[in-house]
Structure 1
Amino acid sequence: MPPSPLPLDADRERAARPPDADPGAALDDTELAVARAALAQGRWQSVRSLLARTGDDWDRRGHRVVVLALEPYAAAWAHEWLLAEPGCADAGVLLALAQVRRTLRGKEDPAGARAACRDAAALAPADPTPWLGLLMLERDGSADAVRIFEEVRARHRDHHHAHHLMVALLAERRAAAGPDPLHEVYDFAAWAAEQAPADSPLAILPIVAHAERYHALAVRGLAPADPTTAAHWRDHRSRDVMKAAFDWWLEWEHDGHPRRLVDLNYLAHAKVCEGRPAEAAPLFHRIGEHVTPAPWSYPDRDPYAAFRAARDGALGIDAGRAP
């Protein structure tokens, strides 16, 4: 794989309101939304049932545990669950990811969160989710970040969230040097897409790489703050990448993937930035109200306002009336 990444806040969720307070984080997973509401009331038994049903669907398990960990008292309830059921792998991984979230909010010692992830990994050696938690904690490009990513891939080669995190890390590399059409983040995304099966949503990863690289440049003033005016989205590479990703979506759209709405948000954003609202329109229909803060917040915008403006423009909705 390409060289290891440089420093980055691994959580990457830049929103106008804190992601921890976002009730839409479950996306269209209604079972997850119900379990999260129960957990907020201390009813961890609903989470136990949900994760038991999820089994080894690793992308879905990772998505569900990450969202459940957003609850402010998730760590406390997971600890109570673990006391009631010592050695429970599901309780251990929820506790670990909740401590990761607390660490990313500055409320937990990173060493404690890392120890919790390692404990969870010991309880369930085949589960990539504890390693995902460790990857979320990585803030530099040390060999540890690459090693952790490879631990995730060893358990689930096409892990969606882990690949997104690695793209975000790589996109920051040498950002201060300005645009570079040969930047390694593009190579990494292309490599991952090529390694994945033909029907894998990792086919969208080159779009994610383009958005993350735009963000890295724009926050440094090296790309326009309005992404729709950035040449970044209209060069030869970006046109090829966006056509390939859109064509893949037309042929292989997966209604069942737990994080497909993340990909659709990235793809719709790219099509709007490319100046192709007609191609963005069917994507907005699929997205509905399931907005993801990234990439609509890039570089420092209100993601919900940016999404609504882009959607209304693509669908021809009068901004003066309610959609």
Structure 2
Amino acid sequence: MTPPPPLGRPRRKGGPAFDPALDDAALATARDALARGRWAAARDLLAGTGDDWDRRGHRLVVLAEGAGSAARAREWQLAEPGSPDASALLACAAVRRAVAGGESPDTARAACLAAARLAPADPSPWLAVLVLAHRTGTDDERARAFDQVRARHRDHHHAHHLMAACLAERQRGDRDDPLHEVYDFASWAAEQAPADSPLAVLPVVAHAERYRVLARAGLEPRDPARSGHWTGRRARQVMKAAFDWWLEWDVDDGTAHPRRKIDLNYLAHAKLHEGRPAETAALLTRIGPHATPAPWSYPDRDPRKAFQAACRATFGAA
């Protein structure tokens, strides 16, 4: 299990590899301690996360990635029977193992449901069910898991990104359809979200996810610069709406501003292939050396390097 949206995407050899913990130093510390067999730091981290559901989901996903995370979670359960945090970590670790083929999906799902019973308000066990259903379940199972997450946290970013990926993968053999259900889903979610929600960029996420599926099926070039997927009136409207949203909220008042939560890497990529490299360069300058530190960003891509490479392919210069 990895933060969205790179689920199922292999890292390029020789490319940049960022820590899945991103800029969450406390998470990185707890994860490293867990790998050494010490679960107390993970317990303190999750207790301090409280009901920040997006952050909790990300932290659980990263903590569960270690090979020994399931064993550490069981030790934690023995020491603190009934701990919802230990149960949630075990559920996420079980899903990670099931996705990798090292555990039965039924066993992983049972662990998720056990965690959900201990913490009825927590969407994280249902997020784990959604991750599992994405790899091993049916369309109905994915939809039910997503509904359970959304019932507990309506604007859960990881779940929305993951559901967009699930929907984009339907009809793999078809050419791109402007009426594809992933676009409808993304538009609906963006309309339902609060005005300051990063889900405003979900239509761009849907556009990128659909391109990923088409490229994997050989229906679009692997190089986006050679694809028409990012061109055309509809694509321009989607990119413009998302970019305008970002500009509207682009202020720096020293607070945890909503623009820090948006997946700016999508916007940078989109603006470039819309034929507007100057805006892309300005956007990347504001992003900094990496994409947004939020858990739903691309942790395994450096947008500056991607921009430079795409500029060379598209315009002949960086």
Which of 23, 48, 53 aligns to 1:53? It is: 48
* Structure 2 counterpart of 1:288: 289
Question: Cα–Cα, structure 1 residues 88 and 109, in superposed 2: closer, same or farther, change >3 Å?
Answer: same
Distance 1:183 1:212 in 2: 12
Supply the distance in 1 between the matched residues of 2:6 and 2:229 (Cα, whole angstroms): 24
1:271 aligns with 2:266: no
Aligned to 1:5: none
Q: Is the 8 A contact 1:82 1:88 kept in 2?
A: yes
Separation in 1, partners of 2:64, 2:46: 13
Give the counterpart of 1:94 among 65, 71, 89. 89
Do the aligned partners of 2:284 and 2:303 also contact (CA within 8 Å) in 1? no
Consecutive unaligned residues of structure 2, counting only runs of 5 or more, are: 313-318
d(CA) in 2 for partners of 1:129 and 1:266?
Answer: 25
Residues 98 and 17 of structure 1: CA distance in aligned 2, closer, same or farther (over 3 Å): farther
Partner of 1:135: 130
- Residue segments in structure 1 that go unaligned for 5+ positions in a row: 1-9, 298-302, 317-323
TM-score by length of 1: 0.83
Range that drifts further, 47-56 or 172-181: 172-181
Q: 1:176 is paired with a residue of what secondary structure? A: coil
Aligned position for 1:44: 39
Other structure's SS at 1:151 match: helix
Q: In the alignment, residue 63 of structure 1 is paired with which amino acid?
A: H
Tell me the alpha carbon deviations over residues 215-237 of structure 1, each in whole angstroms, 9 at most, x when there is no partner. Answer: 11111111111012211101111
Match runs of 1:235-254 below 5 Å: 235-252=232-249
Distance (whole Å) between structure 2 residues aligned to residue 190 and residue 295 of structure 1: 19
Q: Report the RMSD for the aligned CA atoms in angstroms.
A: 2.9
From the superposition, tell whether residues 121 and 32 of structure 1 become closer, same or farther in structure 2 (CA, over 3 Å): same
* Higher RCO (C-alpha under 8 Å, 6+ residues apart): 1
- Cα distance per residue 1:18-47 (max 9 Å; x no partner): 9xxx66111221221121122111221111
Q: Give yes or no for the alignment of 1:178 onto 2:179.
A: no
Secondary structure, aligned partner of 1:288: coil
| Matching residue within 49, 52, 70 for 1:75 | 70
Following superposition, the deviation at residue 71 of structure 1 comes to: 1.3
Q: Which amino acid aligns with 1:288?
A: P
Q: Which residue of 2 aligns with 1:310?
A: 306
- Which residue number corresponds to residue 35 of structure 1? 30
Identity of aligned residues (%): 60
Contact 1:11 1:104 in 2 (8 A): no
Whether contact under 8 Å (1:261, 1:287) holds in the other structure is no
**What is the CA–CA distance in structure 2 between the aligned matches of 1:57 and 1:240, rounded to whole Å?**
33
